[in-house]
Amino acid sequence: MLSVKAKIQSLRKAMQTESVQACIIPSTDPHISEYTPDRWKTRAWISGFTGSAGTVVITQDKAGLWTDSRYFLQAEVQLNDTGIDLYKTGLPETPSIFDWIASELKAGDCIGIEGDVYAASEAKTLIDFFSGKNLKVRSDFAPCDALWEGRPPIPAHPAFVLPENFTGKSCRKKIEEVMAAVKKNQADMTILAALDAIAWLFNIRGNDVKYNPVCVSYAAVSENETVLFIPPEKLTQKVSDYLQQEGVSVAGYDTITEYIRKIPVGTGVLIAPAKINYGLYSILAENCKVKEIDVHPVDALKGVKNETEIAGVRNAMLKDGVALVKFLIDLEKTLTNNEALTELDVEEKLRAYRSEQTGYFGESFGTIAGYGPHGAIVHYEATAESNATIRPDGILLIDSGAQYLDGTTDITRTVATGNVSEAVKRNFTNVLKGHIQLALSVFPAGTVGMQLDVLARRELWKSGQNFLHGVGHGIGCFLNVHEGPQSIRMNYNPTALEPGMLTSNEPGLYLAGEYGIRIENLLLTVKVKTTDFGDFYAFETLTLCPIDVRLIDFSLLSPEEIDWLNAYHQKVDQLLSPMLSTEEAAWLKERTKGIGASDKTVRIATETDSSELPVSI
Amino acid sequence: MLSVKAKIQSLRKAMQTESVQACIIPSTDPHISEYTPDRWKTRAWISGFTGSAGTVVITQDKAGLWTDSRYFLQAEVQLNDTGIDLYKTGLPETPSIFDWIASELKAGDCIGIEGDVYAASEAKTLIDFFSGKNLKVRSDFAPCDALWEGRPPIPAHPAFVLPENFTGKSCRKKIEEVMAAVKKNQADMTILAALDAIAWLFNIRGNDVKYNPVCVSYAAVSENETVLFIPPEKLTQKVSDYLQQEGVSVAGYDTITEYIRKIPVGTGVLIAPAKINYGLYSILAENCKVKEIDVHPVDALKGVKNETEIAGVRNAMLKDGVALVKFLIDLEKTLTNNEALTELDVEEKLRAYRSEQTGYFGESFGTIAGYGPHGAIVHYEATAESNATIRPDGILLIDSGAQYLDGTTDITRTVATGNVSEAVKRNFTNVLKGHIQLALSVFPAGTVGMQLDVLARRELWKSGQNFLHGVGHGIGCFLNVHEGPQSIRMNYNPTALEPGMLTSNEPGLYLAGEYGIRIENLLLTVKVKTTDFGDFYAFETLTLCPIDVRLIDFSLLSPEEIDWLNAYHQKVDQLLSPMLSTEEAAWLKERTKGIGASDKTVRIATETDSSELPVSI
């Protein structure tokens, strides 16, 4: 295997041949995936840096890797003796990639990118920027194709059909709805590249991407035909028969390019520039009337869960809750018995308890088990090197989730592993207050996430604290753990929260070098009222797992917040107990018993009970 | 004087001569003012409809007026026998003006507008829309110029200089700062048309627009020169000398057009398309490199008040508070004595008490005194016809403000005129809770109004209620009562709240046919803390006037809210009492006495006390 230096040497030669003075190698793939198959880990191949986020830029005399604070240490180690300099993004002294390239090149020079692994929106921004600096951009520069010996193939895992008792809506019906939206947007057809969008539309799943049950493919939907572009080895007879029955044509994965070239001149093609690669976009733009939209109809439809999907998620939550309770009991016993326990053990135990549940398919993302200071690293993932031993002292942040055939879960609990200080309790309680205030919110139709975000942060802000990630992301049904179109963040996102949307509620607090706190449940948006002022929505919390009351300073909770906590715990106990052993149920009863009861009536919301306020627990 | 029918007849003739098939007459003026001088009330002249908002469209065979629900009744009366149909905006069956015109005209037809009275941003949207419908737009169609006999001239009131002890910054210094921002935006110069922006920049004021102390003018600022385009009769010797001393050239108001035509080709001109008329924009766009910006640097600088301005506002608040207390005592006595009192009497009394204060210049907008059902009409202004008698039963909403040389005020109080029901108290208390929660908020640098808006609405939303206006608008210093760039609304506005910004806090609730509630104070954004998480800001409430505790259901207030109310009332009492008679001070003491004291410490924030949380009262 070639050294990084040798690979860069070959790349520089190819750049000279092609008169390219700077080459950018990002982390994305042709489907603009958050998690990419190994085939497209070009940046890791050329640089040796294996973190999930990072961009390499190569010129004839310099090479740089830009990555964020999560990976500073790892990058320093992996880039050692490669000739690649580390540029730490987020630090004031670090130049942006664009500015750095502009300062390194001279007018008329050319920048090479592989348009196929760039979102059209990003490539257009890049081209705009550099053309303003008198620099050319070639978007078909993909020399690594030839240089990368032993490049992994496209994953060959078979696709499978997810039956309608899980999806709640046939592929045929979904295609009809998508075409209605395409026409409403004055277009004739649409092209899809995002793997979760394709999996949702065709009601198929796969195993091509770690944590995401999707299969590598493209799709085209028009009035006349729906085509799925997929490596033929993925299609079992069953899947082929199913697709035919749903009226879907099948074509080879690579034939998408040729297909797009043949679209009649002037055809209106609807695309979301952030969800299609620039390679396909460029071909479309040559002949077609490209109609750009921020939120693709497939993402809009996928974001609103139907009754079957919601029932599935409820079921997945029961299973996940049982697994988590068993895990928490195990954790407590291990610590009480002074047995050795590491962060990687926590991951393994969680996997084991979840895999006992029916319909378990795998993890929905890499478990974050961060003990003490590791908890303060927002995207921490324990490695053999970092793996900390958990002691009966301090707090442990555990963010994990599973893929079940009936739903995807994502839950964070922060648990005390021993006695904790008053300061820890105060901070945990402030995070909890934010979590509860968001869970309790009621809002009119049309409200967007940015409007509600403050509810989860207000107590922290009062203390001069904050957390720099979003409060809420969408989540798929047996699909990607992160999806759009809605979000609850400090940033503006124009998508309104609609009944049927599933969104996380995960405020946190991270004190570098000390510990991290996060409390995450999933929320279902439900309609609760229609008044003279219109429709009002609220959240129903679907996740079922006790919140560690040993970390709460009850004096800081309002009566309303105590009521929420008691009602939530009562619901967790009632729904999970029947699925637990006597011993386990006793533990859960103890951990969910009412505290600091206020004089207000406590109500439990269930799925059949959404006609009256409040249903926010 | 011609009848409306005759005027429309003449207009149609002019349209035929010019081959214009539809003519749009809006409510704006060349300075895109909220309040326009009579000269530009073309829509009122042609239609007879005198409401503040409305657009007339004339074709050869139809004529329509579009206005909103505030004016449905008035428009019906005023349009009677004019041949103009009323189109009620906001109703589902009412077509938009654009759609209506598109359906009335045929391909190739021409729409005439007077570009000089359209914001460039709006005219561009209009032209875009109609060009997509194969309709032409002529933006130089101004036939009313010739048809309008006895059209009022441009107001001839003299301008005057506002000294630096009020403005806190010289004109010369402001011009320097504006030019720095112009250059930072890669432009060479800027053109200003908004009257408040010009008044601020030059530290001059005038009397040309009702409620707004501005003078009709334009301005150009470049590296070489700053030119004020103003009718010469407005310039006293003192103002002329002052402008010369500040390095400002003066030119005739109408010469702006010629000036712009002579700007060298390729000059970069910074403009805010929503703040310049389309007439000037079109000329600029011919030869110059127009650099468009959403928030003009003048508006950005004007929005952040300096120390002198803040001290002035504090002083204006003392005076306004004294006037309001005297008014409230008078109101109470009048009602107790069963003396006749109408909504117009309230306006008159408020004006009288305010005019006793030093530096009083006039009202900052038309007082809204709405008794009972009139309070539910958000922009109600009592007329001789509507004028209601106030009885010692129910509630009265009073929204009013004044222009003082040292500051502009805007305050709303809702007061009980007799016993009120529990429902009224509950609703008032929910509005008050929103007001207090916003006043108490603490937020990191970079926070925009949309993020905080929910704090003022949350309690109402829980009850399935809402109010459809913004929570907060910016306010000038002895300038317009409504200004940007910041706002606190359900809509997104990317301008962050900065220390020194002055913003209203005015949640409300309106029950049609019953009553209206609004509580409005002005908030100053102040920096309160710098932590590892950055800078944190909060609000200091500057308005000084008791909130009617007779309308509060104390059982609904949290301890934190009661603390805020007590501390606010204590501050009002302490600051206003020294300026009141013994009898008045006794009344104020009674109306501001602490209620339902909680066990928390109450702190009073003052201007010298912004280093520690909380300073939000």
Helix (H) or strand (E) segment spanning residue B462: helix B449-462
Q: What is the pLDDT of residues A104-146, one digit of tens each?
A: 999 999 999 999 999 999 999 999 999 989 999 999 999 988 9
Measured in angstroms, the CA of A323 and the nearest CA of chain B are apart by 35
pLDDT band (50, 70, 90) for residue A6: very high
User: B472-474 and B411-416: which strand pairing?
Assistant: unpaired
Q: What is the pLDDT of residues B282-292, one digit of tens each?
A: 999 999 999 99
Question: CA dihedral in degrees (B399, B403, B409, B412; nearest 10)?
Answer: -10
Residues B451, A450: C-beta atoms closer than 8 Å: yes
* Residue B565 · residue B573 · CB < 8 Å: no
pLDDT band (50, 70, 90) for residue A36: very high
For residue B396, give Cα distances in angstroms to A211, A357, B342, B518: 61, 63, 11, 10
* Chain B interface test: which of A442, A613, A615 (most B C-beta within 10 Å): A442
State the Cα–Cα distance between residues B1 and B7, nearest whole angstrom: 10
* Chain B interface test: which of A378, A436, A455, A461 (most B C-beta within 10 Å): A461
* Chain A interface test: which of B440, B458, B560 (most A C-beta within 10 Å): B458
Measured in angstroms, the CA of B93 and the nearest CA of chain A are apart by 18
Name the β-bridge partners of A362.
Answer: A403
Q: How many residues does chain B have?
A: 617
Residues B461, A441: C-beta atoms closer than 8 Å: yes
Residues A447, B490: C-beta atoms closer than 8 Å: yes
CB-based contact, A186 to chain B, within 8 Å:
no
Residues of chain B contacting A558 with CB distance shorter than 8 Å: 558
State the Cα–Cα distance between residues B408 and A12, nearest whole angstrom: 66
Question: CA dihedral in degrees (A564, A570, A572, A573; nearest 10)?
Answer: 160
Residues of chain A contacting B448 with CB distance shorter than 8 Å: 492
ipTM score assigned to the predicted complex: 0.92
Nearest CA in chain A to B447: A490
Nearest CA in chain A to B614: A462
Residue type, B244: Q
Q: Where are the beta strands (DSSP E) in A114-194?
A: 136-138, 160-161, 189-192
Measured in angstroms, the CA of A226 and the nearest CA of chain B are apart by 31
CB-based contact, B494 to chain A, within 8 Å:
yes
Name the residue among A386, A349, A376, A380 with its Cα closest to residue A365. A380
Nearest CA in chain B to A437: B458
* Residue B135 · residue B102 · CB < 8 Å: yes
pLDDT of B596 reads 66
State the Cα–Cα distance between residues B499 and B525, nearest whole angstrom: 5
Residues of chain B contacting A461 with CB distance shorter than 8 Å: 441-444, 536
- pLDDT of residue A200 exceeding 60, the answer is yes
pLDDT of A69 reads 82
CB-based contact, A47 to chain B, within 8 Å:
no
DSSP alpha helices (H): ranges in A288-416?
297-303, 307-336, 343-355
| Number of other CB atoms surrounding residue B531 within 10 Å | 12
CB-based contact, B465 to chain A, within 8 Å:
yes
Q: Is B448 exposed, middle or buried (0-12, 13-18, 19+ CB in 10 A)?
A: buried
Greater confidence (A614 vs B27) lies with B27
For the beta sheet containing B226-229, the strands, ordered from the edge strand earlier in sequence to the opposite edge, are B248-251, B226-229, B218-222, B189-192, B268-271, B289-292
* Residue B558 · residue B303 · CB < 8 Å: no
- The B residues from 417 to 456 touching A (CB cutoff 8 Å) are 441-444, 446-448, 450-455
Q: Which pair of tokens denotes residue B426?
A: 């509950």
* Residue A15 · residue A146 · CB < 8 Å: no
Dihedral angle sign, alpha carbons of residues A477, A481, A482, A487: positive
Measured in angstroms, the CA of A538 and the nearest CA of chain B are apart by 9
Considering only the beta carbons, identify the residue of B450, B466, B529 that sits closest to A464.
B529
Mean pLDDT of chain A: 94
Q: Which pair of tokens denotes residue A482?
A: 């992160």
Q: What is the pLDDT of residues A290-316, one digit of tens each?
A: 999 999 999 999 999 999 999 999 999
Residues A441, B451: C-beta atoms closer than 8 Å: no
Q: Which pair of tokens denotes residue B314?
A: 């504090």
CB-based contact, A458 to chain B, within 8 Å:
yes
CA atoms within a 13 Å half-sphere pointing along the CA-CB vector of A325: 32
For residue B142, give Cα distances in angstroms to B3, B26, B42, B115: 20, 12, 10, 8
Residues of chain A contacting B512 with CB distance shorter than 8 Å: 532
Residues B531, A465: C-beta atoms closer than 8 Å: yes
- pLDDT of residue A613 exceeding 50, the answer is no
Residues B464, A490: C-beta atoms closer than 8 Å: no
- pLDDT of residue A90 exceeding 90, the answer is no
For residue B117, give Cα distances in angstroms to B120, B132, B242: 9, 23, 31
CB-based contact, B245 to chain A, within 8 Å:
no
Residues A453, B458: C-beta atoms closer than 8 Å: no
Measured in angstroms, the CA of B92 and the nearest CA of chain A are apart by 14
State the Cα–Cα distance between residues A575 and A272, nearest whole angstrom: 41
- pLDDT of residue A595 exceeding 90, the answer is no
Measured in angstroms, the CA of B532 and the nearest CA of chain A are apart by 8
State the Cα–Cα distance between residues B573 and B567, nearest whole angstrom: 10
Residues A533, B462: C-beta atoms closer than 8 Å: no
Measured in angstroms, the CA of B335 and the nearest CA of chain A are apart by 33
Measured in angstroms, the CA of A617 and the nearest CA of chain B are apart by 14
* Predicted model pTM: 0.93
* Residue B372 · residue B395 · CB < 8 Å: yes
Considering only the beta carbons, identify the residue of A455, A461, A532 that sits closest to B536.
A461
Running along chain B, 617 residues long, what does each successive block of 10 average in pLDDT? 92 96 96 94 96 94 93 90 94 93 97 97 96 94 92 95 98 98 96 98 97 98 97 97 98 98 96 98 96 97 98 98 98 95 97 98 96 90 89 95 98 96 98 98 98 98 95 98 97 97 97 96 98 96 97 95 97 98 98 70 39 40
**Quick check: helix, strand or coil at residue B409?**
coil
* Chain B interface test: which of A186, A441, A466 (most B C-beta within 10 Å): A466
b/e code B533-556 from CB counts within 10 Å (16+ = b)? beebbbbbbbbbbbbbbebbbeee
Query: What mean pLDDT comes out for the span A175-181?
Result: 98
| Number of other CB atoms surrounding residue B98 within 10 Å | 16
Question: CA dihedral in degrees (A292, A298, A304, A306; nearest 10)?
Answer: 160
- The A residues from 509 to 548 touching B (CB cutoff 8 Å) are 512, 529-534, 536
The helix, strand and coil proportions of chain B, stated in percent and rounded to the nearest 5, come to 40, 20, 40
Considering only the beta carbons, identify the residue of A441, A529, A531 that sits closest to B458.
A441
pLDDT band (50, 70, 90) for residue A474: very high
Residue type, A612: E
pLDDT of B286 reads 94
Residues B533, A464: C-beta atoms closer than 8 Å: yes
Considering only the beta carbons, identify the residue of A454, A464, A530 that sits closest to B454.
A454
Geometric angle at alpha carbon A584, from A420 and A355, rounded to 5°: 95
